[in-house]
Amino acid sequence: MAQNVDWKNLGFKYMQTDSFVRADYSNGIWGKLNIYKDPVMPFHIAATAFHYGQAAFEGLKAFSRKDGTIGIFRPLDNARRMINTAQRLVMQAPNEELFLEAVKTVVSNNREWVPPYGTGASLYIRPFLIGTSPHVGISPSEEYAFIVLCMPVGPYYKNGFYPVKAMVQEKYDRAAPQGVGNVKAAGNYAAGMLGDIEGKNEGYPICLYLDSAQHHYIDEFGTSNFFGITKDNVYVTPQSSSILPSITNKSIQDIARDFGLKVENRLISVDELENFVEVGACGTAAVITPVYSIKYRDRTFTFGNEHEAGATVKRFFKEIQSIQYGETEDRHGWIVNL
Ligand SMILES: *Cc1c(COP(=O)(O)O)cnc(C)c1O
């Protein structure tokens, strides 16, 4: 029951809510959206999602705003990204209209689970797409299930907005240059887990990955994009064929321009880390994680103060959150009303 949720002490973990939605693709068309309650569903044991990784997902959030309404952050960007992922994995994706309808329906049917304004929490929405046809010979599924579930989540880092230590993980590569790192394939997460876990065991909550071909240019953190701020107030973020185009990063770039910073999307050699005065990791779950240091081979680069996020990163975080919570005008048209 939503009434029993302790909104101020939510973590980032699965919680069963009232219902989720599902639509199925078969015979060349998408069927209608249905509402389900039981989170356990039967799937064919030979489904392509299980054997050959035809599985894609998305992540976005809905917020209770200051004026009492509920807003969803940039859902059409997620819809478009799922369409790109599906193309790369030879899957059928829902169109933008079905995607948006599914997201709105799941939020609307779980209104009680949207954390109240002022708690710092939000409703995390997880759309995913899987190939469901049985195939043992390798060929794309003819049938797909598109499912959207949601759950209330707290701020990703419970201890607050504090800088973390990162390391460059070179023992494993995350994504090949012309591979699937630029789409939200479920398998990318399995590929990155061991490196991230070994990094954590060495005392680094997040790992930074370099381009897999040369180990020379910065790609991204395990599950979030990289950006750095130079002493001349330039926002620099990598250009690479193997990183996921983060919607959070795109939004922060717009905010950076609003604040008068110059924005550069370009190759960033790992040696350039010494030029940054602030570094952040960005993605929907945590929004921004300030990074205090990055260990690379026998060197450690540091950025600002170990105990406090830098002024620019803090300002970006506050601005994006206040747009999400409806405290600042949505000047870029990012919010879709429920
Ligand atoms: C989802 C994801 C991100 C963050 O993207 P957002 O749209 O900002 O949530 C960054 N990196 C990877 C590898 C991801 O899968």
pLDDT at residue 173 greater than cutoff 70: yes
* Per-domain residue ranges of the chain: 7-153, 164-324
State whether the beta carbon of 225 lies less than 6 angstroms from ligand 1.
Answer: yes
Residue with CA closest to ligand 1 atom 13: 223
State whether the beta carbon of 187 lies less than 6 angstroms from ligand 1.
Answer: no
* Ligand 1 pocket mutation, candidates 225, 240, 243, criterion most atoms within 8 A of CB: 225
pLDDT value for 2: 85
Catalytic residue among 104, 165, 184, 295: 184
pLDDT value for 157: 64
- CATH topology (fold) of 7-153: D-amino Acid Aminotransferase; Chain A, domain 1 (3.30.470)
Q: Respond yes or no: is residue 13 known to be catalytic.
A: no
pLDDT at residue 109 greater than cutoff 70: yes
pLDDT at residue 250 greater than cutoff 80: yes
pLDDT value for 13: 93
Percent of the chain with pLDDT over 90: 96
CATH of domain 164-324: 3.20.10.10
Same fold, 7-153 and 164-324: no
**Phi, psi for residue 155 in degrees, rounded to 5:** -60, 140
Q: Which residues pair with 293 in a beta bridge?
A: 165, 302
pLDDT value for 295: 98
* Ligand 1 pocket mutation, candidates 124, 126, 180, 224, criterion most atoms within 8 A of CB: 224
pLDDT value for 3: 83
pLDDT value for 159: 67
Q: Which atom of ligand 1 is nearest to the CA of 77?
A: 7
pLDDT band at 158 (very low <50, low <70, confident <90, very high): low
**pLDDT tens-digit readout, 119-144:** 999 999 999 999 999 999 999 999 99
C-alpha 220 – ligand 1 centre gap (Å): 10
C-alpha 282 – ligand 1 centre gap (Å): 8
State whether the beta carbon of 320 lies less than 6 angstroms from ligand 1.
Answer: no
**What is the chain's mean pLDDT, rounded?**
96
**pLDDT tens-digit readout, 280-314:** 999 999 999 999 999 999 999 999 999 999 999 99
Closest C-alpha to 41, from 140, 128, 125, 108 = 128
